[in-house]
Amino acid sequence: MATEQYDVVVAGAGGMGSAALYHLARRGVRVCAVERFGIAHDRGSSHGDTRIIRKAYMEHPDYVPLLHRAYALWEELEAEAAAELFARVGLLVAGDPDSEAMRGQAACYQAHDLPHEQLDAAALAVLSLPAAWRGFYDPLGGFLRVEDCVRRHVALAQKHGAKLYTGEVVLSWQREGEGVVVETTRRRLLTARLVLATGAWAVPELGRLGVAACVVRKVQLWYQGRGVEQYARGAFPCFFIADGERYFYGFPAEEPWGLKLAEHNVSHDPVADPLQLNRALTDGDQTPVRDFLARFFPALQPALSKYAVCMYSLTPDKHFVLDVHPECPAVVLGAGFSGHGFKFAPVVGEILADLALEGATQHPIEFLRLSRFAQRRS
Ligand X SMILES: Cc1cc2nc3c(=O)[nH]c(=O)nc-3n(C[C@H](O)[C@H](O)[C@H](O)COP(=O)(O)OP(=O)(O)OC[C@H]3O[C@@H](n4cnc5c(N)ncnc54)[C@H](O)[C@@H]3O)c2cc1C
- Which stretches of the chain bind ligand X, using CB under 6 A? 11-17, 34-37, 44-46, 48, 51-52, 169-170, 197-199, 201, 218, 220, 262, 310-312, 337, 339-343
Which lies closer to ligand X via its Cβ, residue 97 or residue 185? 185
Nearer to ligand X (CB atom), residue 78 or residue 121? 78
In the set 116, 260, 319, 325, the catalytic residue is 260
User: Is residue 150 within 8 Å of 15, Cβ to Cβ?
Assistant: yes
51 part of the active site: yes
In a 3-state reduction of DSSP, which class is residue 133?
A: coil
Residue 13 burial class via C-beta count within 10 angstroms: exposed 0-12, middle 13-18, buried 19 and up: buried
**Residue 157 φ then ψ, to 5°:** -60, -45
Closer residue to ligand X in complex, CB, 278/301: 278
The identity of residue 206, as a single letter, is L
CA distance 372 to 265: 23
Identify which of residues 121 and 140 has a Cβ nearer to ligand X in the complex: 140
Query: Cα(220)–Cα(22) distance, rounded to whole angstroms?
Result: 28
Question: Is 343 part of the annotated catalytic residue set?
Answer: yes
Catalytic site includes residue 310? yes
Pick the catalytic residue: 51, 54, 55, 217?
Answer: 51
Distance of CA 236 to the CA centre of its chain: 23
Q: Which helix (H) or strand (E) holds 251?
A: strand 246-254
Handedness of CA 317, 318, 319, 321 (dihedral sign): positive
Question: Cα separation of 190 and 184, whole Å?
Answer: 11
Which residue among 47, 55, 218, 319 is the active-site one? 47
Q: Tell me the three state secondary structure of residue 23.
A: helix
Nearest to 260 by CA among 236, 277, 284: 236
Whether 197 and 334 have beta carbons less than 8 Å apart is answered as: yes
Please give the residue whose beta carbon sits closest to ligand X in the complex: 14
**Shortest Cβ 337–ligand X spacing (Å):** 3
Residue 243 zone, left/alpha/beta (φ > 0; ψ -120 to 50; rest):
beta
Catalytic annotation present for 363: no
Q: Which is nearer to ligand X, 97 or 163 (CB)?
A: 163
- Quote the least distance from Cβ 358 to ligand X, whole Å: 21
Query: Shortest approach of ligand X to residue 6 CB, angstroms?
Result: 15
C-beta of 191 vs 198, nearer to ligand X: 198
The distance from CA 97 to its chain's CA centroid, rounded to whole angstroms, is 26
Residues with catalytic function: 47, 50-51, 260, 264, 310, 343
